[in-house]
A = this chain, B = another copy of it.
Amino acid sequence: MINQADDLSVTFAALADPTRRAILARLKHGDATVKELAAPFKISLQAVSKHLKVLEKAGLITRGKDRQLRPSKIQGDALGAAAGWLEEYRSFWDESFDRLGEHLR
């Protein structure tokens, strides 16, 4: 079972980094190895590996068993739990857009 409080904290902390979010954005288009992930970011393989470890620990990705390549793959459950938490606040941002709309009219 998911421990809501702790898991959400770990999820949000893992997402609080632009490189880790960029890695997830790349993985949206398909699984990728460390080398493939490092290429567009122009950061070292070690730096990418470190970010992947954070993402894996947070359950946001899993990594393949192939000892050399270990391709990373997005796991959606934690992202879904975070989205579910935020969804409870929808009225607050819809309201902001309503106010913006009123302002523009």
Contacts and interface: CB of A to CB of B under 8 A. Distances in A.
Contacts of A86: 79, 82-83, 86
A77 B99 CA distance: 11
Interface stretch (A17-25, A31-39, A40-48): A17-25
A88 B28 contact: yes
Interface of A: 5-6, 8-13, 15-18, 21, 24-25, 28, 74-77, 79-80, 82-83, 85-97
B12 A18 contact: no
Nearest to A95: B76
Nearest to A100: B77
8 smallest beta-carbon distances between A and B, as pairs: A80-B93, A76-B92, A76-B93, A12-B16, A13-B16, A83-B86, A5-B18, A12-B15
Contacts of A5: 18, 21
